[in-house]
Structure 1
């Protein structure tokens, strides 16, 4: 893999904070080599410990590792440490408003996952590694971690119970929205009572904090669009040039990241971006001003009847 990266002149990554955050523009060959390497490393990890010990070690690490990363992310440990500097445990505790004992335990565990590094084994301070620095540099990556661990994570632990209650002994899995792991998890208590994930991310929080998950979701979607280069898929989805002068509705289009690219490429298009009310402020703040004469935002829930008459409807 290293030889192939050198051949393709792809800058190498390291564990240091100044490392590139990812391999850029790698070929399919590098991607497949990386998958093969990952499979080999998994085999090596299991064989180095033995079958039973590898199971023991996995279950003892998987949940604590996920919990530690979720805490680091939720309380934004990333930005309490300068990218190319150092911060004491006491300083991090002050910035996160968490007890020093909590911060010390979390950071000690984080170091074992290569999130942060201590200058010496006995030190009570940390510096960034390339992993923690990547999260400090990119709010979208942090939003992804949040979506997976803090929002999708808890319902995932309810999957066995949901299957036992609603699907065991049946030929097909239940399709009732009230018979899901999500509903079992969000049916009262610490996470409130919500029917589905959309209702949850739209309404969780109180006062100014209400809808904070929705705003985080927008960052997550922008990151995913960049990661998988969805803009190119949108541009090639249909023959936009042949559509001529047309009105396009982007259903659940978030803050219009794809629509900015579409509007620039095809000046004959008039685009209406639809999403929930919490997204409107992000659209107004971040969408290119020079395109707003042709691209507008409309508050709309994708599960409600469509209010706009258009030539093309886009649902991604």
Structure 2
């Protein structure tokens, strides 16, 4: 990998990039074959993802992505690559959002074709709209025609993935429909609330999200969580054009389950604490959604008693889906993160929670734990850390971009930011000096961090 990394700092040409791409593609192919992984294709029967990324396959893939992007820029030229990007980016995103929101995915059988007329009937949109959306979708490798003049489509591996994986559908919904509009008004929010100041506003009423959701077509909501919890019509209300209240919350639960599987958080949670050696302890999973992680944790470690805490809208999902044989040791309790913690426990877990909040709110969430903390109680922070502490080792741009994209999304939604590990240690100290950070395990390749703080009382 070192020789390939070194080539990134040389002057790139079409030929040098072609050589690099060939070398990386060959290496990736060898790794896939050595691991006996089934190959990914563009056909509908392809696996929807690599079952694992053994060895340095992940890094090889990211370096390949960097080289492919550089090749695209050089093949287009600087000016036209910018033009082509801005011409395509928003229509691409809008097209995918339409396909997802109107469930074009299930309008086409996995093992056959569907005509434009059949799809229009299932998605309840005019035939002209369906035809024009599909024309663009095909250019993005969502669906394919048997010939240029055909008026029916079949699935590709990309569109089939959204039939096979409800979590991926939930992710597209979250990222495009719920966080997309605020991203587009972020320039206006910065112009109104931060331009001319030394620091970005920390006021959560001065976010791009709030500017977008201050009435009109997007409704009036205080923040992203208010939107997720309360958008939609209540039972008995008239509103054909809107889904029932709580639909976004139910989608968010699916989204989190998908994300946790994508980042393999089950293993991260297993290894975050010596659960077996902890003894008979009580664990509180703050913002634990419907308890997906807690089910596997409780099943593997019978010494644990777990309290899952989340908002009222999640309770029905827990009641409907959580395994009945574990309910003697795992319970659900409605709780707001900013309210004083009502449960005295040995271990408190904050998984994928704090990075969604600015510093002030993150500190407030930690301080809300204090009334329940007993000497020796542990707070285990498990989270995505999109920004890394300074290092001599340069990560591939595709990896850096994954973190910086999340950072801009946090800016638009919450006036929050992706913080490196050292900043998180500072958040705990600011919350209370009695939090003693004893252990930090951060992996820059996965962006995941486990930090353990002990309450010194």
Query: TM-score, with normalisation over the residues of structure 2?
Result: 0.68
Q: Which residue of 1 aligns with 2:180?
A: 153
**Displacement, 1:288?**
1.3
- Classify the secondary structure of the residue corresponding to 1:260: helix
Q: Which residue of 2 aligns with 1:76?
A: 103
1:13-28 equivalence runs, <5 A? 13-28=40-55
Q: Which residue of 1 aligns with 2:61?
A: 34
**Displacement, 1:60?**
0.7
Please give the alpha-carbon distance, in whole angstroms, between the structure 2 residues aligned to 1:143 and 1:188.
25
**Displacement, 1:305?**
2.4
- Classify the secondary structure of the residue corresponding to 1:236: helix
- Classify the secondary structure of the residue corresponding to 1:207: coil
Please give the alpha-carbon distance, in whole angstroms, between the structure 2 residues aligned to 1:227 and 1:286.
21
Q: Which residue of 1 aligns with 2:222?
A: 195
In the alignment, is the contact (CA less than 8 A) between 2:113 and 2:153 conserved in 1? yes
In the alignment, is the contact (CA less than 8 A) between 1:10 and 1:26 conserved in 2? no
Query: TM-score, with normalisation over the residues of structure 1?
Result: 0.97
1:136-285 equivalence runs, <5 A? 136-208=163-235, 209-285=244-320
Cα deviation, 1:162-181, whole Å, max 9, x if unaligned, reads 11111122221111001111
Q: Which residue of 1 aligns with 2:327?
A: 292
**Displacement, 1:301?**
2.1
In the alignment, is the contact (CA less than 8 A) between 2:97 and 2:177 conserved in 1? yes
Please give the alpha-carbon distance, in whole angstroms, between the structure 1 residues aligned to 2:55 and 2:222.
41
Q: Which residue of 1 aligns with 2:349?
A: 314
In the alignment, is the contact (CA less than 8 A) between 1:86 and 1:127 conserved in 2? yes
Please give the alpha-carbon distance, in whole angstroms, between the structure 2 residues aligned to 1:116 and 1:80.
11
- 13-22 or 299-308: which moved more? 299-308
Please give the alpha-carbon distance, in whole angstroms, between the structure 1 residues aligned to 2:93 and 2:79.
22
Please give the alpha-carbon distance, in whole angstroms, between the structure 2 residues aligned to 1:42 and 1:99.
37
Please give the alpha-carbon distance, in whole angstroms, between the structure 2 residues aligned to 1:207 and 1:97.
23
Gaps of 5+ in 1: none
- 236-245 or 120-129: which moved more? 236-245
In the alignment, is the contact (CA less than 8 A) between 1:77 and 1:96 conserved in 2? yes
Please give the alpha-carbon distance, in whole angstroms, between the structure 2 residues aligned to 1:179 and 1:289.
44
Q: Which of 62, 85, 88 is the equivalent residue of 2:112?
A: 85
Q: Which residue of 2 aligns with 1:54?
A: 81
**Displacement, 1:28?**
4.3
- Classify the secondary structure of the residue corresponding to 2:56: helix
The alignment's C-alpha RMSD in Å is 1.2
Structure 1 residue 304 corresponds to structure 2 residue 339: yes
Structure 1 residue 9 corresponds to structure 2 residue 18: no
Please give the alpha-carbon distance, in whole angstroms, between the structure 2 residues aligned to 1:206 and 1:147.
19
Please give the alpha-carbon distance, in whole angstroms, between the structure 2 residues aligned to 1:86 and 1:144.
26
Cα deviation, 1:3-25, whole Å, max 9, x if unaligned, reads 22212222110000000111121
Structure 1 residue 63 corresponds to structure 2 residue 98: no
**Displacement, 1:276?**
1.6
Q: Which residue of 2 aligns with 1:134?
A: 161
Cα deviation, 1:70-103, whole Å, max 9, x if unaligned, reads 0000111101111111111111111111111111
Cα deviation, 1:121-158, whole Å, max 9, x if unaligned, reads 11111100000000111000010111110011000011
Gaps of 5+ in 2: 1-27, 236-243, 352-457
**Displacement, 1:53?**
1.3
Please give the alpha-carbon distance, in whole angstroms, between the structure 1 residues aligned to 2:253 and 2:168.
12
Please give the alpha-carbon distance, in whole angstroms, between the structure 1 residues aligned to 2:258 and 2:311.
19
**Displacement, 1:295?**
0.7
In the alignment, is the contact (CA less than 8 A) between 1:147 and 1:220 conserved in 2? yes
Please give the alpha-carbon distance, in whole angstroms, between the structure 1 residues aligned to 2:313 and 2:122.
27
